Amino acid sequence: MPKVKIDGVEIEVAEGTTILHAARQIGGDLVPPAMCYYSSLKGSGGKCRTCLVKVTKGSEKDPRPMPKLMASCQTMVMDGMEVASKSDEAVTAARAGVVEFLLLNHPLDCPICDQAGECHLQDLAFEHGKATTRYEFERRTFEKIDIGPYIKLHMTRCIMCWRCVYLAQQLSPERVHGIIGRGDHAEISTYIEKSIESEFSGNVIDVCPVGALTDRTFRFKSRVWFLNPMNAHRDCPTCSGKAVAWMYGGEIFRITARKDHYGEVHEFICNTCRFDKKGAGDWTIEGPSNIDRHSVISQNHYEGASLTVR
Ligand code: SF4
Ligand code: FES
């Protein structure tokens, strides 16, 4: 099994493991951010370049460094490889450049965006963003679109990560949404204005790293940090029925799938669970969800320096 050293920490991983996954196995600050890669979505990754790292030693056999920064979600570990992530200034500068690039057209409307508090771009901008912009041109803007009765698309906020497209492709029987146009004109579109009718379409909301796809049944009802995320389950004939109920007192404001430490869902939930079952009696509440991202959602809910709740 190949051994790789990331920021000086060595780990042995299975053949075919990417640098990103090896870093996740180590954990901590050295894990590169990932805005487009999503482990349960086939084909994802390689679009946003937020996960760049420096390969300072290619492998034991060929120790030459790689000539440019590499996307860690797409680069496989080789035996003897050495990688710099958090520890390298060029990597930090490149990530800052990517954030600046992603924010060229992304509006700074966090105060009114439903994704605020759980937005990966917000976290990234907090860590790497600049206080001002050098962009002098007019930002591209789009009208908001209702994709069916449950989902709102704010194309203006989209960062073209492709996650929702891969999700729709993999979970829906029929592909009705994708990206049309190129470059500055590229946009998410439902072909011939068809809504996404699949019973699993609501999962595009959970995989979207920004607030481009939001839940119409929850929009503007509450800020996420005022709610208590509770693990809950129900007997569902369509999906696993395992979800997170976002509660205020005894009232359920929204239902989402359960996310891991990196904000990824491994068990997608159906639209009935997500949008139609909001009565407290619909769910068996298990207890507080494990929120251990450095997220504002964790604030004020649980005591202690650690944000991990188990
Ligand atoms: S709508 Fe969201 S998930 Fe889809 S491409 Fe845009 S940012 Fe990614
Ligand atoms: S997460 Fe690797 S390129 Fe986007």
pLDDT tens for 20-75 read: 999 999 999 999 999 999 999 999 999 999 999 999 999 999 999 999 999 999 99
17 contacts 30 by C-beta, under 8 angstroms:
no
Sequence length of the chain is 310
Tell me the CA–centroid distance for residue 183 and ligand 1, in Å.
Answer: 15
Q: Is 273 in the pocket of ligand 2 (CB under 6 A)?
A: no
Q: Is 70 in the pocket of ligand 2 (CB under 6 A)?
A: no
Q: What is the pLDDT of residues 156-180, one digit of tens each?
A: 999 999 998 888 888 876 666 677 7
Nearest alpha carbon to residue 17 among 30, 28, 6, 1: 1
E strand spans, the chain: 3-6, 9-12, 52-57, 70-71, 81-84, 145-147, 151-153, 177-180, 187-190, 213-215, 228-233, 242-248, 251-256, 284-288
CATH topology of domain 3-100: Ubiquitin-like (UB roll) (3.10.20)
Please check the confidence at residue 284 and state whether its pLDDT lies above 70. yes
CATH topology of domain 110-131+140-215: Alpha-Beta Plaits (3.30.70)
Nearest alpha carbon to residue 221 among 193, 245, 252: 252
pLDDT at position 292 is 63
Q: What is the pLDDT of residues 114-144, one digit of tens each?
A: 999 889 999 899 888 888 888 888 888 889 9
Handedness of CA 98, 104, 110, 111 (dihedral sign): positive
Q: What is the pLDDT of residues 232-278, one digit of tens each?
A: 999 999 999 999 999 999 999 999 999 988 889 999 999 999 999 99
Local confidence band at 309 (pLDDT 50, 70, 90 cut-offs): very low
Tell me the CA–centroid distance for residue 296 and ligand 2, in Å.
Answer: 24
Give alpha helix (H) positions in 55-107: 89-102
| Residue intervals in the chain for CATH 3.10.20.740 | 3-100
* Token pair belonging to 216: 């119409």
Please check the confidence at residue 297 and state whether its pLDDT lies above 90. no
Residues with CB under 6 A from ligand 1: 158-164, 188, 207-210, 212-213
| Residue intervals in the chain for CATH 3.30.70.20 | 110-131+140-215
